[in-house]
Structure 1
Amino acid sequence: MTQQPRSTTSTSTSVKDTDAPPVTPPSTPSDPPLAEPRPLAEHRVWPRTFHDRLTAPLPGLKSFARFAREGAVRPGPEGLADIPRLPYAPGRPPRVDAGTTAVTWAGHASWVVNIGGLTVLTDPVWSRRILGTPARVTPVGVPWSALPRVDAVVISHNHYDHLDAPTLRRLPRDTPVFVPAGLGRWFHRRRFTRVTELDWWEAAELDGVRFDFVPAHHWSKRSLTDTCRTLWGGWVLTGPDGRRLYFAGDTGYGHWFARIGRRYPGIDLALLPIGAYDPRWWLSDVHCDPEEAVRAAQDVGARRMAPMHWGTFVLSAEPVLEPLTRVRAAWQRAGLPREHLWDLPVGGSRVLE
């Protein structure tokens, strides 16, 4: 979850989608070539803090005072009344071959990604409740027992709604895990043996699938004393066939999206957050609203967009269904093909031919 704000309907069955012409930003001389993959699970030494990576200052006393006076952290009764209408269609990940890319939304930022023959989990949270927020309002969309063998896990940052210890304890300790710089120690303490830490723009490779760690407009914190001690970011996964998927993690809107699009042209699908944005004065630096998420999809040159980070945990004050209605409207206003907005229910899947 966001520890402190600003700092602190399809079906679940597989739906095959046709290819669309790529929309990619032009490259510029300022963008260097992609980094060579680093060795898996290598020992790294990191700086004590990543405060210099912040793209907005953390809130000070004045911000906290204003939030105490006027900030709302939960929707009112009308905003919560739509909880029974949240799209929920539990299912199993589709069975696909090694040449097919597919995604299944388990809820929040947790996806089951099939790419290059691997099953990859993003920010897996299968717990009913996380620290500091009410229990999830939609159950997990994919039963743990329905998962195939998990070949890898990617983590975007260490907030509790993205890094869930009870869920990770369910995994074999030799599961390959890809994490931001500085977060390896957390996994090593829990006896994970194949942990690869990366800085922004670095990459590693597992069985032909490339994992690139890319910047995000966010921050990190898990306790009272570790603010920005570990890095945060998103992941670009590229399969052996060139299929490319961007998992943004948790992020506000900003300049990094265009940079990512230039360095990784031809993104087939962008998994982008659309929720936890109100009040805007408090959260705009670290969480996209739906309109910004659509702009971000265009900035990275993604052929398709799948919204996430909404309809699972109530983390902020917007009505629970508002992110979905607003992202659909923003997509339509942008003149983008409706079939390229993969607004899945929790538990829904889509397959890329």
Structure 2
Amino acid sequence: MSSIGGTGIGMGLYAAVSNPAQIASQPEEAAEKRHHLKNGKGFTNPWDSYMEFGFWELVVKGIWWRKITGQWNDPDTTPPTVPVRTPTFLPTRTTPKLRATWLGHACYYIEFPSGFRVLFDPVFEDCCAPITIKSLKRYTPPPCEIEDLPIVDAVVISHNHYDHLSYPTIQRLQKKFPEAHFFAPLGNKVWFEKSGVKNVTELDWWESRHVSLGEKKGAADDEVSVASNGGRKEEGITATIHALPCQHVSARTPFDKCKTLWASWSVESGGAKVFFAGDTGYRTVPPSIPSDVDDYSPTYAHLPICPAFSQIGLHRGPFDLGLIPIGAYEPRALFSNVHANPKDAVNIFKDTKCRRALGMHWGTWVLTEEEINITSGNFKMRWCSLTKLSFIRAYKVIHLH
């Protein structure tokens, strides 16, 4: 668990979602929608930094065959692995600082100083798959349960892979927080509606929504109710949520790859700004590069990097906090196109102009081959001249003033 500063118990307020009064800046090419397939039936990564691997090359040859022939390296998950600490949530919405609590893998609970509360990519189940698969069971339990969360105003989903979007978790959230509003990338709204979620907004890259919390459903921005917490009246709570690009793919079955969009996100509220990178690659390391070679050596400096993150930094940054993936990256030849390693994560951190960052997407399920303690290392801070307080291992409790 990590903290950058309180949590709020309060009334379940309805989120009135509307278009922002002002359109935020965006890259000139954003209007071209190059990530939309021309036939209108899916999405793609429109950059040279992305290389597509087919089902045969990635799953059959890259994963199944490596497992059958004994080439696959299963990381050691013998306890102890990742320290688990029970979160302590504060009793009111009032907090002077931004606070982030890592709930495992890519799930973060964010408490803004304004009182706005956001949950990113929640998955509380034991197995991150549509059926129970022993190899995809947790080796680290969640630090708390959904029922322990005091309040959730918004749930933000990066994409529909099972380690980021869980039907049982969504059902539990709906039951506990019926007024919470869900935000997801384009094409995912139908899934949420079929799952019984009524309060859902889907966004394309570079689209934004304004959120006002109020007691009355459908309240306009200038009619936001105030909530009473312990007899203290609070001003209306507002936020702006932006869907942003990242380099990944989507699928719930073998037959729907890239039919729905994936995204990174930023959330602004009360003067604080958070960037959530979701699940993303930064550059593709081709299979021709040996696995024991440093792909960040000068020899491979020509490999294209994803331009989206510097654009995010220019048009939405700087950010007070970045939540950036650091795991599920080995072998690089198989996963670098969609999963960042620690060096990639540091570059994403710098490109997006985050003042501080917390790592995620590690320490929960065995998805790839890298050892757990290698993933949770020092993020190559000396390599990029970062201070230790710039990029933090997420299981430590740290308050930044």
Shorter-normalised TM range: 0.7 to 0.9
Within the candidate set 228, 237, 240, 2:267 is matched to 237
Higher RCO (CA < 8 A, seq sep 6+): 1
Distance in 2, matches of 1:228 and 1:129, equals 23
Within the candidate set 197, 203, 213, 1:198 is matched to 203
Asked if the contact 1:104–1:113 (Cα under 8 Å) also holds between the matched residues in 2, the reply is yes
Distance in 2, matches of 1:100 and 1:107, equals 22
Q: Indicate the structure (1 or 2) with the bigger Cα radius of gyration.
A: 2
Distance in 2, matches of 1:15 and 1:303, equals 12
How do 1:1-353 and structure 2 match up within 5 A?
12=1, 14=3, 16=5, 31=27, 47-51=40-44, 53=46, 55-59=50-54, 61-63=56-58, 66-67=61-62, 68-70=64-66, 75-76=73-74, 79-80=75-76, 83-94=79-90, 97=94, 100-115=97-112, 116-131=114-129, 132=133, 133-172=135-174, 173-207=178-212, 208-241=238-271, 243-253=272-282, 254-325=306-377, 328-345=378-395, 349-350=397-398, 353=401
Structure 1 pair 198–349 and aligned structure 2 pair: CA distance change class (3 A): farther
Distance in 2, matches of 1:231 and 1:206, equals 22
Asked if the contact 2:66–2:72 (Cα under 8 Å) also holds between the matched residues in 1, the reply is no
Give the count of matched residue pairs: 313
Q: Superposition RMSD on alpha carbons, in Å?
A: 2.7
**CA deviation vs aligned residue, 1:191-234 (integer Å, no higher than 9, x gap):** 21111010000011212211100011000000132111100011
SS where residue 321 of structure 1 aligns? helix
Report the alpha carbon displacement of residue 32 of structure 1 after superposing the two structures with TM.
Answer: 5.6
Gaps of 5+ in 2: 6-24, 32-38, 213-237, 283-305
Choose 187-196 or 169-178, whichever is displaced more. Answer: 169-178
**CA deviation vs aligned residue, 1:256-312 (integer Å, no higher than 9, x gap):** 111111111221111000000011100010000011101110111111110000001
Report the alpha carbon displacement of residue 338 of structure 1 after superposing the two structures with TM.
Answer: 1.1
Distance in 1, matches of 2:2 and 2:348, equals 27
**CA deviation vs aligned residue, 1:11-58 (integer Å, no higher than 9, x gap):** x47464xxxxxxxxxxxx9836999xxxxxxxxxx9421136574323
For 2:342, the aligned partner's letter is P
Report the alpha carbon displacement of residue 73 of structure 1 after superposing the two structures with TM.
Answer: 8.9
Structure 1 pair 63–161 and aligned structure 2 pair: CA distance change class (3 A): closer
Structure 1 pair 141–301 and aligned structure 2 pair: CA distance change class (3 A): same
Asked if the contact 1:248–1:271 (Cα under 8 Å) also holds between the matched residues in 2, the reply is yes
Distance in 2, matches of 1:195 and 1:290, equals 33
Structure 1 pair 74–104 and aligned structure 2 pair: CA distance change class (3 A): farther
Gaps of 5+ in 1: 1-11, 17-28, 36-45
Asked if the contact 2:246–2:277 (Cα under 8 Å) also holds between the matched residues in 1, the reply is yes
Structure 1 pair 144–61 and aligned structure 2 pair: CA distance change class (3 A): closer
SS where residue 80 of structure 2 aligns? helix
Distance in 1, matches of 2:259 and 2:104, equals 27
Distance in 2, matches of 1:203 and 1:168, equals 23
For 2:169, the aligned partner's letter is T
SS where residue 156 of structure 1 aligns? coil
**CA deviation vs aligned residue, 1:235-262 (integer Å, no higher than 9, x gap):** 1111132x11100010001221111111
Asked if the contact 1:93–1:103 (Cα under 8 Å) also holds between the matched residues in 2, the reply is no
Distance in 2, matches of 1:65 and 1:196, equals 36
Q: How high is the TM-score relative to the length of structure 2?
A: 0.71
Distance in 1, matches of 2:71 and 2:362, equals 15
For 1:290, the aligned partner's letter is P
Distance in 2, matches of 1:177 and 1:56, equals 31
Structure 1 pair 216–222 and aligned structure 2 pair: CA distance change class (3 A): same
Structure 1 pair 175–336 and aligned structure 2 pair: CA distance change class (3 A): same
Distance in 1, matches of 2:117 and 2:370, equals 33
Report the alpha carbon displacement of residue 92 of structure 1 after superposing the two structures with TM.
Answer: 2.7
Give the fraction of aligned pairs with identical amino acids, expressed as a percent. Answer: 32
Choose 174-183 or 138-147, whichever is displaced more. Answer: 138-147
